[in-house]
């Protein structure tokens, strides 16, 4: 894990150095844009990290196991898929949450369902989708996405056995 992080960061620094050598002005402008984007995202990330901490503090390992653990089976997958469908969390933040859920005893299938529905289904954005695509297409897209997410989760459970 540490070796991977060192490799990725080293590679990024190497690419940054190459970019500086090729065009210093464009690189500086890119870094300014990246800084601005980072500052815009930071409050959301911090709030979600705090919420994740509270969630894991208030939900005991036993509750997590009973709801989305291996013993919960298909019901746990559906619960996780439903939660992923209604929550509006940036996918960047969802991966640390998924890791925390796995460490707390959630099944791989449930976490796969959670992550997949989180990125594929837009319950919060459904009104906009209905406005742009129409009611029928919006519900069909979200319904098919939910079914596909559950299938992906079940396949993950089969593959990782």
In 3D space, the residue among 61, 103, 106 whose CA is nearest the CA of residue 83 turns out to be 106
The domain of 124 spans 60-159
Q: Identify the pLDDT of residue 92.
A: 72
Cα(14)–Cα(97) distance, rounded to whole angstroms? Answer: 30
Q: Does 47 map to a domain?
A: no
pTM: 0.69
DSSP state of 105: T
Q: How many structural domains does the chain have?
A: 1
Q: Identify the pLDDT of residue 81.
A: 93
Full pLDDT tens readout for the chain, 161 residues: 678 888 999 999 999 999 999 999 999 999 999 999 989 888 877 877 787 778 778 877 788 888 888 888 899 999 999 988 988 777 777 888 888 888 888 899 999 999 999 888 878 888 888 999 999 999 999 999 999 999 999 998 888 87
Q: Does 155 map to a domain?
A: yes
Q: Does 143 map to a domain?
A: yes
In 3D space, the residue among 106, 27, 98, 23 whose CA is nearest the CA of residue 63 turns out to be 106
**Distance between terminal CA atoms of the chain?**
23
Q: Identify the pLDDT of residue 3.
A: 85
């Amino acid at each position: 894990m540490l070796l991977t992080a060192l490799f990725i960061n080293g590679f990024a620094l190497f690419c940054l150095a190459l970019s500086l050598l090729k065009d210093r002005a464009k690189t500086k402008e890119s870094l300014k844009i990246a800084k601005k984007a980072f500052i815009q995202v930071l409050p959301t990330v911090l709030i979600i990290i705090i919420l994740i901490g509270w969630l894991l503090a208030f939900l005991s390992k036993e509750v997590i196991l009973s709801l989305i653990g291996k013993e919960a089976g298909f019901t746990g997958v559906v619960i996780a898929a439903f939660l992923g469908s209604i929550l509006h969390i940036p996918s960047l933040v969802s991966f640390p949450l998924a890791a925390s859920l796995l460490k707390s005893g959630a099944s791989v299938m449930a976490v796969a369902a959670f992550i997949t529905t989180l990125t594929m289904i837009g319950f919060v954005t459904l009104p906009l989708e209905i406005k742009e695509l129409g009611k029928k297409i919006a519900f069909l897209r979200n319904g098919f996405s939910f079914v596909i997410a559950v299938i992906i989760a079940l396949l993950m459970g089969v593959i990782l056995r």
